[in-house]
Amino acid sequence: MEDVYREYKPLLFSIAYRMLGTVSEAEDLVQETFLSLAQGDSGDIHQMKNYLCKVLTNRCLDVLKSARRKREHYVGEWLPEPLPDMDGRNDPLHALMQEEAISYGLLVLLENLSPTERAVYVLRSALDYEYRLIAQMLERAEPSCRKLYSRAQQKIQAAQLQVEVHPAHTQTLVEQFVDAIHKEDAEALIRLLSQDAVLISDGGGKTRAAIRPISPDKHVVAFLLGVSRRWSGTVQICSLNGQPGILMSGEDMRPTAISFVLDEERERIKRIYILLNPEKMKHLF
């Protein structure tokens, strides 16, 4: 069991995190999956990887269906939890997540999919599972899984956002963003944003945040310059979900994480996601 745990834990966490968008829930479901394996008869399992992925995916589906009802009462916008890259850690889990980083923009877009669409998309795009195996895991017909994947792809492509990780180009824009905020330079910020830029913040009712998305670029800049005057702590550019983001903390401010999505040409910032909910920040600070 120890060998099985070490071998498959990184893979299962990768699936659960993509499915749920939360770190603590993903870790809990991975533990529950291994616990159920330990309590059962593993001798009858011939394809351990497929078995574990099936059990975990269906557990994630149950959580997602329940979470949809809970989020109807969530205060303001709901954002996934960003995952920091742990450089220098000799940990297979972090090595896998860094190698197969899922951009924060894609993680947000996955929230627009139905639970089953999300499961099919993750299993197909992240693991390259054949539709036959996906159908077996979800106990659905293979043609149905093909349609679900096609529908999920269409929804993601319709957003016209950069969903791949491009750390080098994002680094430059994030550095310019921090400099413009520090100088309170509205014109510089306008030049960094696409005209249809959108800012989304998530306070979860625990701290002050914009209840609705803010757009277009001029309104985003006005909001940023207004709230940035309260950013009195440490501002650190770090790697979140495989590309540069910002972490801020200090005695007089709430811990804050900021992630960015560029437009398709990667020339300007199209989405700014500001996470303020303290319940989602425990793994970051």
219-232 residue pLDDT tens: 999 999 999 888 87
Phi, psi torsion values for 45, nearest 5 degrees: -95, 120
- For residue 164, pLDDT beyond 80: no
The larger pLDDT score, comparing residue 118 to residue 158, is at 118
Q: What is the pLDDT of residue 87?
A: 54
Do both 137 and 220 map to the same domain? no
- Residue 279, amino acid: E
In sequence order, what are the beta bridge partners of 39?
A: none
Buried b (16+ CB within 10 A) or exposed e, 211-247: eeebbebeebbebbeebbeebebebeeebbbbbbbbb
Q: 254: pLDDT confidence band, cut at 50, 70 and 90?
A: confident
Q: What is the pLDDT of residue 223?
A: 96
Do both 172 and 42 map to the same domain? no
Q: How far is CA 81 from the centre of its chain?
A: 6
Do both 45 and 153 map to the same domain? yes
Do both 246 and 111 map to the same domain? no
Do both 17 and 149 map to the same domain? yes
Do both 96 and 153 map to the same domain? yes
We report the CATH number of the domain holding residue 252 as: 3.10.450.50
Give the chain's domain count.
Answer: 2
Please state, in angstroms and rounded to a whole number, the distance separating the CA atoms of residues 6 and 260: 33
Q: What does pTM read for this prediction? A: 0.90
Residue 90: both structure tokens together: 């000799």
Residue 285 lies in a domain: no
The secondary structure element, H or E, covering residue 201 is strand 193-202
Please state, in angstroms and rounded to a whole number, the distance separating the CA atoms of residues 285 and 269: 25
Please state, in angstroms and rounded to a whole number, the distance separating the CA atoms of residues 220 and 177: 13
Do both 150 and 187 map to the same domain? no
Per-residue pLDDT tens digits for 96-149:
555 556 889 999 999 999 999 999 999 998 888 999 999 999 999 999 999 999
- Which stretches of 100-250 are DSSP H helices? 104-110, 115-121, 131-138, 142-158, 167-183, 186-192, 217-228
We report the CATH number of the domain holding residue 122 as: 1.20.140.160
Residue 231 lies in a domain: yes
Do both 125 and 150 map to the same domain? yes
Q: Of the candidates 138, 158, 178, which is a domain's last residue?
A: 158
- Which range marks the domain in which residue 204 is found? 167-280
**Percent residues over pLDDT 70 in the chain:** 92
Do both 26 and 128 map to the same domain? yes
Please state, in angstroms and rounded to a whole number, the distance separating the CA atoms of residues 201 and 204: 9
* SS3 label, residue 80: coil
Do both 184 and 121 map to the same domain? no
Q: What is the DSSP string of 129-149?
A: --HHHHHHHHT--HHHHHHHH
Q: Of the candidates 130, 158, 186, which is a domain's last residue?
A: 158
Do both 205 and 268 map to the same domain? yes
Do both 193 and 142 map to the same domain? no
Per-residue pLDDT tens digits for 3-21:
999 999 999 999 999 999 9
Q: Of the candidates 125, 158, 191, which is a domain's last residue?
A: 158
